[in-house]
Amino acid sequence: MAKKKDNETREYIPAPVTDQPITETLEKNFMPYAMSVIMSRAIPEIDGFKPSHRKLLYTMYKMGLLNGGLTKSANVVGQTMRLNPHGDAAIYETMVRLTKDNETLLAPFVESKGNFGKVYSRDMAYAASRYTEVKLAPICAELFRDIDRDCVDFVDNYDSTTKEPTLLPTTFPNVLVSANQGIAVGMASQVCGFNLAEVCRTTAAYIRDPNVDIFETLPAPDFTTGGELLYEREALEEVYNTGRGSVKLRARWRYDKSENLIEVYEIPYSTTVEAIIDKVVELCKANKLREIADIRDETGRAGLKIAINLKRGTDPEALMQKLFRMTPLQDSYPCNFNILIAGTPRQLGVREILEEWCAWRCECVRRRVHYDLGVKKDRLHLLRGLEKILLDIDRAIKIIRETEEEDEVVPNLMIGFRIDEKQAEYIAEIRLRNINKQYILRRLEETGELADEVARLEKILGDKRAIMDIIVEELEAVAKKYGTPRRTVILREFSEDAPAETESAPDASPVTVFLSNEGYFKKITPQSLRMASEQRFKEGDALRQSFETSASAEVVFLTNMQQAYKCRVGDFPDTKASALGDYLPAKLGMDPGEQVVFMFLPGDYTGSLLLFFENGKAAKIEAEAYNTKSNRRRLTGAFSGASPLVAAFFLERDEELCMHTSDGRAILFTTALLAPKSTRSTIGVQVVTPKKGRLLSRVERAEESGILNPARYRTRALPGAGALLRPEDVGEVQASLDI
C-alpha cells in the first residue's frame, strides 16, 4: 500500500451538527449555573452569611484565631481554599469586607491590623494580604457557640477531604445585623443593617409576643457610616412588611464660622467621598453652585471629612439644602430582603425574618439539648454500672485476676454483676490505683446531679416555651455584652422642599462680548468700553467676533472637536479692555487640544446656524436643535466632523453670501436655497460643484465681499460652479469675521 506524501493535504471532514431545542439548552446548561449562583454564591441564608463568608470564618475558627493572636491574612486565604475553591483575590476581598477597619459591618467579625481600605471611599485601596494581619473578633464566639454539639449539619467540602457546617449557629439574628448584598441570576438581594442591641431586644420581644409592634424596639435601620435617616413611617412600613422599598439617608455636617467652611463628617452608606466631590465639582463647573469656593477631601486617621469653603455671604443652611437635592449627600438605600430559607429564595419582611430565624434557632437549641442529654445519659449509665460493684470490689478484682484471656474480662464482668457491655468496658478500663472505695464513692456522687440534669433536659425538650426562654436569655446576654449605640441618627422632622430664595430679575444690562482667535472671552460694560475701547490681546492673537448683547443672554461656543458649550453671558465676570479675559478651554473645562471656533447668541432659538465645510458642503441647522430642556452645558455631536469647518454664520433671516474656492472662483447665492435641518450632525448639501482639487476656502456676507459686478457671480441653483474672480470686479474689501 502506497504511503501518502508528507505534503499531501488531508481532507477535512467537519463534525456533524445536531440541532438542539433552546428549551433543552436552557434546562441542561443554563439552569444548573443559575441554581448554583443562587444557592451557593449570591444570596445570604438565615444565619446572615453567604457561603464564602461562612467558609472563611469557619476556617479561621479551626485555625484557632478566636482566642489566639493575629496571623498574616495570606495564611488565612491559603487555608480557606480548602473549603472555597476560588482565587486568593476573591477570598481576600471577602475577608476585607468582614474586617473592623473596613467599616462595612456594624458588628465586624474580623479584628484587623493594617490597611483594609474604607467602605466610604472608592479610591482608597486595601493593602495586599501579605502585609495585613487578622484574627476573629470576640463576637465570633456567638457564631460558633456549641458548634461541636450537633446543633447544625456538617457536609463534605468540594473534594470530600474535610467537613464544613451548612450554617453557623448564631445566637442572634445576624441576618438583620450585617448588611449584605448580592446579584444572582434573575434575582438580587440587598439587606440593610440594623443595630445589634435593637435587633436582640426586638427578637426577644417578638418571642414573648408575636404581635408586638416592631417599631417600638426597632425604629429604623442603622449604618456604619452614620449620617441621618429621614424617618418616613410609610416607607419603613413597606420595607418591614414586604422586604422591598428604600430609605433616605442624609449626610451630617457642621459649620465653622471662623474659617467660613462646612465640614461633612458622616455620609450616606450608599455613596462614597469621591462620588460626592465629583458631583459638586461638576455642578460648580456648570455654574449651578456658585456659593462654593473650594472643596477638598480631608479624610485621615481622625475619620471622614469633606471640607467645603464658602464664598462670602453664603448661607450655609441654604447651601446644604441645595446640596442635599443635587448631590449624593442625600441618597436612597434600596432594600430587597431576598433570603434562602431551606434552599428556597424568599422575599421576607422583618417580622417574617424574625419568625424564620426563631424557628431555625429553636431547632439549633433543641439539637444541642438533645446532644447534651445523650452525653449525660451515657455518663449516668456508666456510673450506674460502677455503683453495682461498690458493695463487692474484691469480687470484681477476683473476676479480672482469674480471667485467663483478656477478651473474656468484659463478658465475665457482665455475667458477674449483671451489667451491659458499655458498663463492663468502663469498669475494666479503670486503673488499678483507682479500684478503691473512695474513688468509686466520689464518682457516684455525680449520679444524683446527673439524674437531676437528665430530668431537666428532658423537660426542656418537651417544652417549646423552655427552649424559647433559652434563646431569649442568650439574646439578652449578647445585647448586653456586644451592643453599641446607634450610629445613624433618626431625623423625624425634616424638610426636603427647596428653601425660599428671593430670585432677582435676570440681569438685562447691556454688555459687549469679545472672542479672540485663541479662545479668550471678554464681557465689557458700556461704561468701561467708553473709557477704553482699544482691546488688548496676547501677542499673535486677534479679535475673532464681537456682539452687543445683555448679561442675561445665552451664548453658545462651537469647538474644533464638534462640541458645543452653552452658558450665560452673566456667568462671566465683567472685565476691562486692557485685560486678556477668560480662557474658554480652562473656564469651560474643555478636553485637551479643544479650541473655540465660533460663537453665537441663539436668543429665542428661532434662527438658523449655517456651517460651511472645506469639501464644498453647507449645513443649515435650526437653532432649536441646540435648545435642551435638561440645561446640559456640553453638547457632543454639535455638527458634522466629516470635513474641516471653513466658516459659520448665525442667521435670523435669509441673506446673500459670497463663497470663494481654492481655484479663485466666487459664488454669490441666497441662503434661502438651503433647506434647514433639525439634526445637528447633518453633513449638509453640496454648494460648490465638486471638482478634483477644488476646495471651499472662505465665506463672507455679500456686502463685505466688495464685488462690484454681483450679477456675474450670482447663482440661482446649488451646487454652483461660480466664476473666476476678475481684478476689476473687486473693490475695497472690508474685514470679515470668517473663522
Contact status, residue 412 vs residue 452, Cβ threshold 8 Å:
no
Contact status, residue 193 vs residue 106, Cβ threshold 8 Å:
yes
**Pairwise CA distance, residues 516 & 538, whole Å:** 9
Sequence-ordered alpha helix ranges (H) in 612-667: none
**Pairwise CA distance, residues 348 & 212, whole Å:** 18
Q: What is the DSSP letter of 68?
A: S
Torsion of CA 53, 481, 229, 283, to 10 degrees: -60
Contact status, residue 84 vs residue 159, Cβ threshold 8 Å:
no
The cell numbers describing 378, all together, are 451515657
C-alpha Rg value of the chain to the nearest Å: 42
17 — phi, psi (to 5°)? Answer: -100, 125
- The SS3 of residue 98 is helix
With cell 501518502, the residue in question is 4
The cell numbers describing 12, all together, are 477535512
Strand spans (E) along 348-500:
489-491
**79: Cα within 13 Å, side-chain hemisphere:** 18
**Pairwise CA distance, residues 314 & 337, whole Å:** 43
Whether the ω angle into residue 173 lies within 30 degrees of 0, i.e. cis, is no
Residue 650 φ/ψ region, left for φ over 0, alpha for ψ in the -120 to 50 degree band, beta for the rest:
beta
Contact status, residue 451 vs residue 380, Cβ threshold 8 Å:
yes
Contact status, residue 666 vs residue 707, Cβ threshold 8 Å:
yes
Q: Determine whether 426 is an active site residue.
A: no
How many C-beta atoms lie closer than 10 Å to residue 261's C-beta?
Answer: 19
92, 126, 131, 520: which one is catalytic?
131
Contact status, residue 613 vs residue 643, Cβ threshold 8 Å:
yes
Q: 132 CB contacts (<8 Å, ≥6 apart)? A: 72, 73, 112, 113, 114, 115, 116, 126
Q: CA dist 364 to 201, 377, 454, Å?
A: 20, 20, 19
Question: Which residues are designated catalytic?
Answer: 131
